[in-house]
Amino acid sequence: MTTKKKQQKQWCGTIPDACENCGLPLHKKFVDGSAPRLQGGAWMILCLSCHARHGAGLGDGLGQMYEPSRDGTKCVKVTREKTEEDNARVDERCARIAREVLGFDPRSVGVELRAVAPLTLQSALTIAYRAGRADKAGR
């Protein structure tokens, strides 16, 4: 019986050298993630300190943490098992954004946010928008 070794996801671009918020040099680990309290929620390269203060969290639609590989030539994504709390946080964040953009909670028309979480948020909002329009047309 052979087993496949899970390949680690790697940072594709140039390895960043400074935090895009505070400008301080990055020390080993960094986060590529959403910073809702900065620049309207733009995605940024953040040091761990800035991510702790301003970041949305880690996971799908929130941010990913990277650290140098053992040989130091590239950065690999730090992974961990998702918990129900992680899933609930992604659901709530997507629902909050949908309420702000669309004016309703997509869960109210039967859209399972966890099912669309791997998609981009734009795709999730499009699905929610169409579901909302179909629901209104059916009333």
Q: What is the DSSP string of 23-79?
A: -PBP-S-EEEEE-TTSGGG-EEEE-HHHHHHH---SBTTTEEEEEE-TTSSSEEE--
Residue 96 pLDDT > 80, yes or no?
no
pLDDT tens-digit map of 27-37: 889 999 888 87
Cross-strand partners of 25: 18
7 residue type, one letter: Q
Q: Where are the domains of the chain?
A: 12-80, 84-138
pLDDT tens-digit map of 97-119: 777 777 777 677 666 655 554 44
The CA distances from residue 132 to 49, 55, 61, 94, 135, in Å, are 39, 30, 22, 15, 5
pLDDT tens-digit map of 38-88: 777 788 999 988 888 888 888 777 889 999 888 878 888 886 666 677 667
Task: Name the pLDDT band for 129 (thresholds 50, 70, 90).
Answer: low
